[in-house]
């Protein structure tokens, strides 16, 4: 059973912006939106991955049943494919192929593996996850804001890998339409008072009434001991049945 340990700060999944531009993202159920980047972060260079359903469930804070439903829905994503195989232990398993994102400027953004390893994808609501990726799509690099931020890495502002955040000024209605969420769900996900609000509590800082700072990697990390306690309580029964 998956256990939280060291954080991979180098791994990432290149999220194809065309999924949002072409309205595919808005039409997917929340389970599919939650599990897609987790599968993507497990892909090799050919876009092939084979994480177990239980591992995906733990990383995404879902039940295995919801993971299966999300995976089925991902077949609506152009190029996504699922094949069955028998692993080295004689167990039937699934292999996923996520279509590689074309290497074209402006076509993709990096969803960082640290969001999975740090437990943020586990604890957040599915709506918050869908909104975070949508805000990343509309995000842009604000040079002036970065220069005035003491936490920003100002030595190499032109290097994407050194950026700690981007800005988002998209209207709430636009965010709702692009993410497939209701306006109320968007407001709830941005509300810092919500216990499991990924965006406001950890990855998005509200600057004023119309703009947010969207963190590329988590600035706060959950204690791994606590995360693993959560895993034991939620998934011990599922692990024994595998």
* pLDDT score at 237: 72
Q: Cβ atoms within 10 A of the Cβ of 114, count?
A: 19
pLDDT tens per residue, range 205-231? 666 667 888 888 877 778 999 999 999
C-alpha separations of 66 from 140, 173, 210 in Å: 33, 28, 34
Q: Which of 42-51, 101-110, 138-147 has the lowest mean pLDDT?
A: 138-147
Cα 17 from chain centre: 14
Quickly state the pLDDT bin for 158 (edges 50, 70, 90).
very low
Mean pLDDT of the chain: 85
Distance CA 111, CA 210 (A): 24
Its sign, for the CA torsion 148, 154, 159, 165, is negative
Which is higher by pLDDT, 12 or 218?
A: 12
Which residues are registered as beta bridge partners of 14? Answer: 110
State the pTM of this model.
0.86
Distance CA 17, CA 19 (A): 5
> 3-class SS at 105?
coil
Model confidence at 194: pLDDT above 80:
no
Asked if residue 82 lies in contact with residue 94, where contact means CB atoms within 8 angstroms, the answer is yes
Q: Which two tokens stand for residue 43?
A: 């892909």
């Amino acid at each position: 059973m998956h256990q939280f340990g060291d954080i991979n700060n180098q791994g990432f999944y290149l999220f194809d912006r065309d999924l949002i531009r072409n309205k595919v993202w808005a039409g997917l159920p929340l389970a599919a939106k939650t599990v897609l980047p987790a599968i993507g972060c497990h892909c090799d260079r050919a876009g092939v991955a084979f994480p177990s359903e239980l591992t995906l469930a733990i990383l995404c804070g879902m039940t295995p049943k919801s993971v299966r439903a999300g995976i089925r829905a991902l077949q609506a994503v152009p190029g996504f494919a699922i094949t069955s195989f028998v692993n080295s232990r004689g167990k039937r398993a699934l292999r996923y192929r996520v279509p590689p994102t074309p290497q074209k400027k402006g076509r993709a953004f990096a969803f960082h593996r640290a969001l999975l390893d740090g437990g943020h994808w586990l604890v957040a609501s599915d709506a918050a996850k869908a909104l975070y990726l949508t805000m990343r799509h509309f995000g842009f690099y604000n040079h002036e804001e970065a220069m005035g931020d003491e936490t920003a890495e100002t030595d190499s502002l032109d290097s994407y890998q050194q950026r700690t955040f981007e800005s988002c000024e998209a209207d709430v209605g636009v965010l709702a339409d692009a993410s497939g969420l209701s306006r109320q769900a968007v407001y709830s996900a941005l509300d810092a008072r919500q216990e499991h609000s990924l965006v406001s509590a950890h990855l998005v800082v509200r600057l004023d009434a119309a703009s947010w700072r969207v963190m590329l990697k988590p600035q706060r990390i959950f204690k791994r001991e606590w995360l693993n306690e959560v895993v034991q309580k939620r998934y011990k029964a599922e692990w024994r049945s595998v």
